[in-house]
Amino acid sequence: MEYKKLTSPEFRVTVGDYILTDGIEVECFSSKASHLDWCRVELSNKLQDMITFEDMDEAVVELGYDDDFDVLMEGYARKEQKDYWKEIMIKDDLMKLERIKVKGTFIDCEPQDVIRYILTCAGIDDYELSPAAYGKKDRFSIEEKDGIRAIAEVNAAWGVSAAFFFQNRKFHWGTTEEQEELYILEEDESILRLNKYGDLWEAETLGIPWIHHSQQIEVRHSKYTGTVEVEKTIVRSDDTGAVHMYIYFKGGEQDV
């Protein structure tokens, strides 16, 4: 495994033609349960007067230092009347599903047939769906829902717990990218603090942009040791520019 120095990482945000490294506070949220990854970029007073962008401008959020950056998330900037004028909201490709309305009746169909139709409506053609057989329904209807709710309704109708989300701009339903490396988080090295709240552990770490939800990681800590699946991640900077990352996973007894 290649080791990278991330003792003082910083954010680099690209929106349209702008590349931002200074004058920003950033918070990124990624969760298997919420499906959609998002990032909020708060602009300094100076940048508020300088930055202009359009709805659905391409956007990339990276984390690193010097010229060594890794992609944290990719997607689109959102610009709507309800948005706060001092910040930029970035969402991943699931925003395309969030914005469409789906209505239709399907005959003699499997869940994958309906999912493909929903993705086509959203203009999404790069996807991987679970090949598992869940059986056919003689008739299945969707009554005008956005794409995310429509997929959730498909899952419920077939009794399927298939997670769905984007990884590296590819849509996954009941699948995930093959993981080539197992990342190791160790006490007093990459783990700064480890606490448990309910059934979730929260590991505060250095900024590690290549760790995402649904990946396997190995935790080596006096409070918990084992291989776990990441449930969600939060990465944020504060007003001093310091970056904090929080990795959440399940395991062990509650409320340790």
| pLDDT tens digits along 49-59 | 888 899 999 99
pLDDT tens profile 97-108? 999 999 999 999
Q: Which of 105, 133, 168 is the last residue of a domain?
A: 168
Cβ proximity of 42 and 20 under 8 Å? no
In a domain, 224, yes or no: yes
Give yes or no: residues 185 and 63 share one domain.
yes
Give yes or no: residues 210 and 240 share one domain.
yes
- The residue assigned the tokens 């925003």 is 95
In a domain, 173, yes or no: no
Structure tokens at 206: 């250095």
In a domain, 81, yes or no: yes
Q: Which of 134, 168, 202 is the last residue of a domain?
A: 168
Give yes or no: residues 125 and 27 share one domain.
no
Domains in the chain, number: 2
In a domain, 150, yes or no: yes
In a domain, 28, yes or no: yes
Give yes or no: residues 109 and 79 share one domain.
no
In a domain, 256, yes or no: no
> What pLDDT score does 49 carry?
83
In a domain, 16, yes or no: yes
Q: Which of 118, 143, 168 is the last residue of a domain?
A: 168
CATH number for position 208:
2.30.300.10
**Calpha distance 37→243 (Å, rounded):** 18
Give yes or no: residues 85 and 101 share one domain.
no
Give yes or no: residues 191 and 65 share one domain.
yes
Contacts of 108 (CB under 8 A, 6+ apart): 136, 137, 138
Give yes or no: residues 119 and 238 share one domain.
no
Give yes or no: residues 20 and 77 share one domain.
yes
Give yes or no: residues 193 and 245 share one domain.
yes
Give yes or no: residues 87 and 183 share one domain.
yes
> What pLDDT score does 93 carry?
96
How far is the CA of 79 from the CAs of 9, 52, 54, 134, 138, in angstroms?
Answer: 28, 10, 6, 39, 41
Give yes or no: residues 116 and 71 share one domain.
no
| HEC sequence for 75-132 | EEEECCCCCCCCEEEEECCHHHHHHCEEEEEEEEECHHHHHHHHHHHCCCCCEEECCC
**Calpha distance 202→249 (Å, rounded):** 7
> What pLDDT score does 86 carry?
86
Cβ proximity of 174 and 164 under 8 Å? yes
pTM listed for this prediction: 0.88
Residue 144's domain comprises 97-168
In a domain, 131, yes or no: yes
pLDDT tens profile 164-214? 999 999 999 999 988 888 889 999 888 999 999 999 999 999 888 888 898
Give yes or no: residues 19 and 81 share one domain.
yes
> What pLDDT score does 238 carry?
79
> What pLDDT score does 66 carry?
77
